[in-house]
Amino acid sequence: MAPKPLSYVSGVSAQPLIYQTISDALTSASETYPDRQAVVSCHEGVSLTYQQLDEQATKLAAGLITLGVKKGDRVGIWSPNNVGWIIVQYATAKIGAILVTINPAYRTSEVLYVLNNVQCSVVILADQFKTSNYIEMMRELAPEIGSQGDGVLSSHNLPHLKHIIAISETKHDGVRRLSDVSELGGANEFQEIERLQAELQPEDVINIQFTSGTTGSPKGASLTHHNILNNGYFVGEGIKLTHEDRICVPVPLYHCFGMVMGNLAAVSHGACVVYPADAFTPDATLAAIAQEKCTALYGVPTMFIAMLESEKFKDTDFSSLRTGIMAGAPCPIETMKKVISDMNMPEVTICYGMTETSPVSFQSAVDDPLEKRVSTLGRVHPHLEVKIVDDDGKVVPRGESGELCTRGYSVMKGYWGDPERTADVLDQQNWMHTGDLAVLDEDGYANIVGRKKDMIIRGGENIYPREIEDFLFTHPEVSEAAVFGVPDATYGEIVVAWIRGVDGKAPNPEEIREYCKGKIAHYKVPAMIQTVDEFPMTVTGKIQKFLMREAVVEQMNLKEIKTA
């Protein structure tokens, strides 16, 4: 009897990889589609054509050069979605500055870590967002702001940071405005931009995205033009994007979903991105779909669920929609079916990937059989290889589970300044070990069946329990803490913490939750805290989180959510 085929697939395509920089891609779109809308920001009442976007990005790039920003310098952006964000994305690309995307939910300790970890010389930020006042948080981190005029910042806590730039038009002492920086450049700076276009290479790192990993604090995945421009292009190909399409992007731009699958998919096809609001709300997204005649809609499952449940849903005109992407977390099959039937999205697809792979490595096709589209992750992306291996690194037969590994153009260069942790996930053959347990069927369709990593995915946000545990230990009444995820119909998973008090005294769970609020990102704050006398342990003293998870699932009568 012939052996079963092995769990290895490679993506073939008649479309070659793009070999250009992101700046070149914008220039091409501007020349080909100068008068077509490139971006619409509904909440700001602003829209730009490709020619206008290219011009504004060039002006800002010249201004950044005037401030001393050079190729390879790190420029942080800490802001929710707005037109300024996409202008900064392309302006930094024009001069080869590395854009460091910062989660808008981050608090002071997290921002301090990110800015210092990659040595940002510039941070561009919004004034505020929800409960976060970014200007005040920066002043807390760098009290010197404003005392040195509008010149170069010299800060004890942030020794590499030289300039703070606000996206808004509000004036703040010691903080420049984005619009003012855009007026700084002169003939020499514009000539420098032209010179750089010949010097910049597709293999240059152009983006650092922080992701929770297998150990310790967040790590900066170093992504090149070649990584993310091609991934955006092939995601767009997967939903048959053209210059006639308008993509509704309620997902955050700081994440690959927004900036790669949204902005870069659009620029590589001449399509338009539509930002419904600074952050997701179901009603704003529904309004944007109808008003802007969007043809594609992106979102994590929780966003689609919220829209389906909105009172505005029944009055929304979905006639312009045809496609979109549901990704970022396991996709409930019943939700997928409702999106297809009730939101007029017959060509909606599912994507799977991770930040370290730019991000997408699997995507369902718009013409896949319905059952495959709603119950699998689709097939491997073009120009990528995937294998599924056992604990010894051997490829398993089709139908058996093992760790999913990806290789190809999309794999990051490594974690910024961290060769040891890079070596933990990138082997000598350049296979990215995802930590996800997957199964590949005989037709090449994949499904994720579990995670080798101790990772929680809440509403599309990757959460590493160690970060939260380390923070909980700072509370004087907490002696021990263990954090894990349990199933949730809305978020896919929610964060649960078991804590043991000092000297056997049980801390008040609500007080612990209040202690977390405002100090760590809201999505990391445990939804449930339980005090216990002891943790289940192995004979060698390791905490058995799977037993803790099972106990909470049984106690709360939770059900595993059937997902693709």
Q: Which band of pLDDT confidence, cut at 50, 70 and 90, is reported for residue 139? A: very high
Amino acid letter, 279: A
For 358, half-sphere exposure in the C-beta direction (CA atoms, 13 angstrom radius) is 30
Q: Which residues contact 314 (CB under 8 A, 6 or more apart)?
A: none
Q: Residue 211 has what pLDDT?
A: 86
Cα 361 to Cα 441: distance, rounded to the nearest angstrom: 16
Asked whether residue 183 carries a pLDDT value surpassing 70, the answer given is: yes
Q: Residue 541 has what pLDDT?
A: 53
Q: Which band of pLDDT confidence, cut at 50, 70 and 90, is reported for residue 213? A: very low
Q: Residue 473 has what pLDDT?
A: 83
Asked whether residue 214 carries a pLDDT value surpassing 50, the answer given is: no
Q: Which band of pLDDT confidence, cut at 50, 70 and 90, is reported for residue 316? A: very high
> Which tens digit of pLDDT belongs to each residue from 462-472?
787 878 988 89
Asked whether residue 55 carries a pLDDT value surpassing 90, the answer given is: yes
Cα dist from 287 to 261, 262, 307, 533, whole Å: 22, 19, 11, 51
Q: Residue 150 has what pLDDT?
A: 64
Q: Which domains does the chain have, with CATH numbers?
A: 22-36+48-211 (3.40.50.980), 456-555 (3.30.300.30)
Cα 19 to Cα 21: distance, rounded to the nearest angstrom: 7
pLDDT averaged over every residue in the chain: 93
Asked whether residue 104 carries a pLDDT value surpassing 90, the answer given is: yes
Planar angle of CA 118, 124, 126, nearest 5 degrees: 130
Span 301-312, average pLDDT? 92
Cα 414 to Cα 222: distance, rounded to the nearest angstrom: 6
Between 337 and 289, whose confidence is greater?
Answer: 289
Nearest residue to 257 via CA among 228, 219, 294:
228
- Counting residues of the chain whose pLDDT is more than 90, the rounded percentage is 77
